Chains A and B, each alone.
Chain A
Amino acid sequence: MMRIIRADLHLHTCLSPCGDAEMRATAIVRQAGQAGLDMIAICDHNSAENVNAVMRAGAREGLAVIPGIEATSREEVHILGLFRSERDLAHLQDVIYENLPGENDEEAFGSQLVVDEWDRVVGMNRRLLIGATALTVERIVEAIHRWGGLAIASHIDRERFSLIGQLGFIPEGLELDALEVSRPSSSKQDYGYPVVTSSDAHFLADIGKSPTHFMVEDLSLDELEKALRREDGRRIVTGKMEDLSLHILDIAENSIAASAGRIEIRIDEDRANDLLTVEITDNGKGMDESMLKKALDPFFTTRTTRRVGLGLPLLAQAAKESGGTIELNSEPSRGTTVKATFRLSHPDCKPVGDIGQTIRTLVIAHPEIDFVYEHKTYDSTYRFDTREIDRK
């Protein structure tokens, strides 16, 4: 079954000299869980020696961890390599080490800690990981592909160490699988390549900032690759959390997790009263009193390892920021209604965004669920009910 996942594909650990000492396997995995991520990739500078620890911690805590590396080319361009297995990654690691001169100076650049899955320090990398390899961007991309990896140019919207900053533009014929931007606003630009956003986190608190949403079947690199190529219905789900349509998607996902058979989404843009109302009603298993109380708490989730639970606090925050309200009604085994209001004229009122895509995504991904979508504006009402249409 296709679903939307939230991925942060560029995290450093304490192995990167610039990575915070707290960036260790279990701490990273737990923080990623709290940030609502389904998948992370570990990409330290020119080394993969902490990948195994994070993958073990991920397997234990139920978080998908993609083995990766951030290679520095001789032009000082950073390229991410994401792999199917640690074995494939090890091949690239060998090529990088053969071409990486110098020894680290801890005083100047920071320490390079190797840790185990329980965050204990088990070693120290002495290479100059902050340095540049003798490999051209072309050779790095070619080497990543030789071992079946995905090559993504890092933070191309920054000047330092980015493909566009260092080399002015994307070299002709460079076979990148995607570009990474660090500011969500940059992803609106058309670069002619798929664009992902990630945090490039060096500190725990940054994990999950500007993640990419993918529509995929499972949490594998094969699926990510298909999504980047837009194959078999897989794709990057565009739109940012600035848009209410993605908040709505999140809430609907909660309903799906609560085994709802019917989900109703109502949007009322009442300009005369300066009020935008978003209401999501489901007939899922509902919540009891104690659960209801916790539901708006960002650290509360009905499952420990997977997201579901962040949707409500984020929506509540969005509503409050625009002078609105949030109301939550639920009854065990009857269902839940979430109603959020926003002041349309408030400068912090988020745009509705591509609600059409949100509805399509839900309807296509969940043929077993009935959806009702109603959108009122000052002069018209649009209504759509999956029971009244042939989904094909």
Chain B
Amino acid sequence: MRLNELIDKLDLSVRTGKGNLGREVTGGYASDLLSDVLAHSREGNLWITLQLHQNIVAVASMKDLAGIVLVNGREPEQETVEKAEKEGVVIMVSEMPTFELVGKLYELGVAGMG
């Protein structure tokens, strides 16, 4: 499924990287430990987190993730927004908590790595 379809279906608000919303999502990964995401996420994954620090942009860019969804309506920090725009990393915000969001993604066919 493509990123813009998920954005529509789950009512995600796009904060950065508006030019890259046509990308195919290969799966999902949810974690707030960036070291863990570096170790275990895969290319094209949608990453669900509550971390707002600018390092999330570097992690998404290094792992070539499809995008980052911030949960609980949390807004990215200013530096994070600037870095993400520069790197073309898509950051979205969901009002849902992680559990609900991941459940809905699963229903839509976005699977984990299992």
Contact = CB atoms under 8 A, between A and B. Distances in A.
Contacts of A166: 32-35, 51
B35 A75 contact: no
Interface in B34-60: 34-38, 51-55, 58-59
Nearest to A167: B55
A164 B54 contact: no
A169 B53 contact: no
A164 B35 contact: yes
A94 to B, nearest CB: 23
A172 B79 CA distance: 11
A159 B53 contact: no
Contacts of A347: none
B77 A168 contact: no
Nearest to B38: A168
Contacts of A172: 54, 58
Interface in A149-170: 159, 164-169
B59 A168 contact: yes
A166 B31 CA distance: 10
B53 A165 contact: no
Contact of A171 (B37, B52, B55): B55
B33 A171 contact: no
A137 interface: yes
A257 B81 CA distance: 59
Interface of B is mostly: helix
Nearest to B53: A75
Contacts of B59: 168
A159 B38 CA distance: 13
B77 A75 contact: no
A263 B79 CA distance: 58
Contacts of A171: 53-55
B58 A169 contact: yes
A136 interface: yes
Interface of A is mostly: loop
B35 A136 contact: no
Nearest to A75: B53
A159 B37 CA distance: 12
Contacts of B36: 159
A138 B80 CA distance: 13
A137 B32 CA distance: 15
B6 to A, nearest CB: 24
A169 B52 CA distance: 15
Contacts of A165: 33-35
A78 to B, nearest CB: 14
A136 B55 contact: no
Contacts of A169: 34, 38, 55, 58
Contacts of B58: 168-169, 172
Nearest to A160: B33
Contacts of A137: 53
A169 B38 CA distance: 10
B35 A168 contact: yes
B34 to A, nearest CB: 3
A17 B85 CA distance: 41
A140 to B, nearest CB: 12
Contacts of B37: 168
A384 B53 CA distance: 55
Interface string B10-45: 000000000000000000000011111110000000
Contact of A159 (B35, B52, B55, B77): B35
A155 to B, nearest CB: 13
Contacts of B35: 159, 164-168
Contacts of A136: 53, 77
Most buried by B among A74, A75, A166, A168: A168
- 6 tightest CB-CB pairs across the interface, nearest first? A168-B34, A167-B55, A167-B34, A165-B35, A168-B38, A168-B35
24 contacts: A74-B52, A75-B51, A75-B52, A136-B53, A138-B79, A159-B33, A159-B36, A164-B35, A165-B33, A166-B32, A166-B34, A166-B51, A167-B34, A168-B34, A168-B35, A168-B38, A168-B59, A169-B34, A169-B55, A171-B53, A171-B54, A171-B55, A172-B54, A172-B58
Interface of A: 74-75, 136-138, 159, 164-169, 171-172
Given A75-B53, A166-B35, 17 more contacts: A74-B52, A75-B52, A136-B77, A137-B53, A138-B79, A159-B36, A164-B35, A166-B51, A167-B55, A168-B35, A168-B37, A168-B38, A168-B55, A169-B34, A169-B58, A171-B53, A172-B58
